[in-house]
Amino acid sequence: MRAHRTLAVSVIIGLVLAVPAGAAAKRVIIDGSTSMLPLVQKLANAYHKAYPKIPAPKVGGGQTAIGIGDASAGRVDIGDASRDPIPGVDPKGLVFSKIARDGVCVITNSANPLPNLSQETVQGIFTGSIRDWSNVPGATVTGPIDLFDRDGASGTQDAFRNIFLGESTQISPSATAENSEGLEVNAVGSGNDKNAIGFVSFAATIGSSVHTVNYQGIPCTLRNAKSGQYGGVRNFWMVTKGVPKGEAAKFINWVTKPNNTTVRAIVSSEWIAIH
């Protein structure tokens, strides 16, 4: 009898010791939009600094469609989406929480510092009806336009089409599709491709070698995006399966809380705060 009691006590003690001290606070898992990745990583670090007893959210990339799909399937707690919800396309039961806004810039190689593009010319270039730089006002290079796109899982591609081209207009299938902001910047900014053009989040252009093109006479700058002068602005969302709950709800509520000066300082450095 004593042996059985001793064994039982040992098992209980072992189970207690096996439970991590911070087990009460579940670590939030996040993936999705690569455009949002730098922002959400900064927010996650700041959240952990503010609440050190709560594990820092684990933040990964993977593009908008992956984040939405993973949130819907329960593989992550939060999916990051850099495009607006699409009724009839997005899985049912998702809740989109807006956390910030972002500027989308048309970019060219620095050897071709295009001064400005009208909406008509942007449409012509990206749909493939304008194929040579000799037909683009202000171009300093000649020859075929080397078009870069984001792939179909990208929220940036969806936002770009809706803002610059029109919802029903498709980007030319001849464009090279990149699956991240970094790859797009590298492809367009490469010194070996002076004829390149593409589009990325404003934040992705900071410190890069690419040239950002004025759109309809307005420079793609954070200041112009915040003021509303620059038209190429889209929303950033955190997506959950149903109403956010648990640790995911705590994190989203902290990020979206009005007058959260920590969040506002982080967002306003490269993006557009919603409060």
Q: Are 197 and 172 in contact (CB under 8 A)?
A: no
**Which token pair is 149?**
């796109």
Do residues 189 and 220 both lie within one domain? Answer: yes
Helix 37-50 and helix 261-270, axial crossing angle in degrees, nearest 10 = 160
Do residues 192 and 81 both lie within one domain? Answer: no
pLDDT at 7: 40
Helix (H) or strand (E) holding 211: strand 211-212
pLDDT at 166: 86
CATH number of the domain within which 131 lies: 3.40.190.10
- Number of domains the chain is built from: 2
Do residues 96 and 124 both lie within one domain? Answer: no
Do residues 123 and 210 both lie within one domain? Answer: yes
Q: Are 6 and 13 in contact (CB under 8 A)?
A: no
Give me the sign of the Cα torsion angle 221, 68, 158, 174. Answer: positive
* Beta-bridge mates of residue 96: 239
Do residues 143 and 170 both lie within one domain? Answer: yes
Do residues 205 and 89 both lie within one domain? Answer: no
Do residues 85 and 130 both lie within one domain? Answer: no
127 located within any domain: yes
Do residues 44 and 130 both lie within one domain? Answer: no
Q: Domain residues for 250?
A: 25-101+235-270
* Distance, C-alpha 119 to centroid of its chain: 23
66 located within any domain: yes
pLDDT at 131: 97
11 located within any domain: no
77 located within any domain: yes
Q: How many CA atoms lie within 13 A of 216 on its CB side?
A: 10
Backbone angles phi, psi at 234, to 5 degrees: -130, 170
* Pairwise CA distance, residues 176 & 262, whole Å: 39
12 located within any domain: no
* Beta-bridge mates of residue 62: 32
Q: Are 81 and 237 in contact (CB under 8 A)?
A: yes
Residuewise pLDDT in 10s, the chain (275 residues): 444 443 443 433 343 344 444 456 799 999 999 999 999 999 999 999 999 999 999 999 989 999 999 999 999 999 999 999 999 999 999 999 999 999 999 999 999 999 999 999 999 999 999 999 999 999 999 999 999 999 888 999 999 999 999 878 999 999 999 999 999 999 999 878 999 999 999 999 999 999 999 999 999 999 999 999 999 999 999 999 999 999 999 999 999 999 999 999 999 999 999 98
5 located within any domain: no
Do residues 185 and 90 both lie within one domain? Answer: no
